[in-house]
Structure 1
Amino acid sequence: MLHRSFHKAQKTGYKAGLCCLTENPMRKSLFTLALALAALPFASTAQSNNPLLGKWTTLDDETGRAMTVVEIYPAQNGTLAARIVENIAAPPTCSKCSGSNKDKSIIGMPVLWNIRNENGNWGGGNGLKPSTGDTFRVRSVELAENGTRLRVTGCKGPFCRTATWQRRE
């Protein structure tokens, strides 16, 4: 088959190589699908054993009371993100948010995004605290107490606060 493709390439002026695999729309689709499937195990392996992934209960900074359940999941380009998946005791909508999140349900709302691994430390990116509508820069996301707690440190200007989340079973 490659021999025929090579001769076809010579007749049509194409150079031998991938052009013959991708000139036919059906072959191009199959070739693209094969490449994507071949890369899939490598992409999922990098994130699947990440101890930050999963569901966490957020705790009120002042009372320690459970507020929401947040899911941390792999996002684009090796980053992590988190969204609210269950409301326990928080206001049901983001009334203090601005822009597109104003008065929207907090279920499904992103609370962390673009969290990057830099030399083994997770941080960077941004966050949203729906109860206040504040956005912040994420300084760090760190496991604590043998992986049962997560400390999320966010900063607004020079001021930083750390929230503690508890792993869900």
Structure 2
Amino acid sequence: MKSIITIVALSLLTISSAFAQDVFGKWKTVDDKTGEAKSILEIFEKDGKAYGRVLEILNKEHKDDVCEECEGENKGKPIEGLVIMKALEKDDNEWNDGTIMDPESGKEYSCYIKLQSNDKLKVRGYLGFAALGRTQYWYRVQ
């Protein structure tokens, strides 16, 4: 009987650990320069790939901002609701080979994301080589 309880407990622990290590969900972005919270993004899965959508801009003065610098179908669209992270593919413990778009500049960059802990996500945008880019840390919203 004790061995059955132990097996069940270990199975539940393993399952909860697997769910805890998921990049999907809501994340708070932070301004690199000021350290202030900027927005809430949702990372979601579609066709086995990860995407990120701006759910909310936290600064009330910018809530109605549109993507003036964007090209194509995103030009002039509200930033809230915009999918800015696209088509990241799972590769061991990170998601890569996708893109991330900066709605302020309209520029698109190669991107990878990796959990640093259950509540901290490393987001790296770069041109060409991952060494030539910028890293941000996003924080899980409960």
Q: How high is the TM-score relative to the length of structure 1?
A: 0.65
Residue 119 of structure 1: how far off its partner (Å): 2.8
Residue 122 of structure 1: how far off its partner (Å): 1.4
Aligned to 2:10: none
- Three-state SS of the structure 2 residue aligned to 1:115 is strand
Residue 124 of structure 1: how far off its partner (Å): 1.2
Runs (4+) of structure 1 exceeding 3 A deviation are none
1:133 corresponds to 2:103: no
One-letter code aligned to 2:89: R
Q: Is the 8 A contact 2:123 2:137 kept in 1?
A: yes
Q: 2:54 aligns with which of 84, 96, 105?
A: 84
Mapped to 1, the partners of 2:139 and 2:77 lie a distance apart of 25
One-letter code aligned to 1:87: I
Aligned to 2:123: 152
Q: How high is the TM-score relative to the length of structure 2?
A: 0.76
1:75 corresponds to 2:46: yes
Structure ranking higher on relative contact order (CA contacts 8 Å, 6+ apart): 2
Residue 55 of structure 1: how far off its partner (Å): 0.3
Mapped to 2, the partners of 1:119 and 1:147 lie a distance apart of 16
Superposed CA RMSD in Å reads 2.0
Greater alpha carbon shift after TM alignment, 146-155 vs 84-93:
84-93
Q: Is the 8 A contact 2:44 2:50 kept in 1?
A: yes
Residue 104 of structure 1: how far off its partner (Å): 0.9
Mapped to 1, the partners of 2:79 and 2:95 lie a distance apart of 24
- Three-state SS of the structure 2 residue aligned to 1:64 is coil
Residue 162 of structure 1: how far off its partner (Å): 0.6
- Three-state SS of the structure 1 residue aligned to 2:73 is helix
Task: Please identify which structure carries the higher helix content.
Answer: 1
- Three-state SS of the structure 2 residue aligned to 1:100 is helix
Residue 111 of structure 1: how far off its partner (Å): 1.3
Residue 88 of structure 1: how far off its partner (Å): 0.8
Aligned to 1:61: 32
Aligned to 2:83: 110
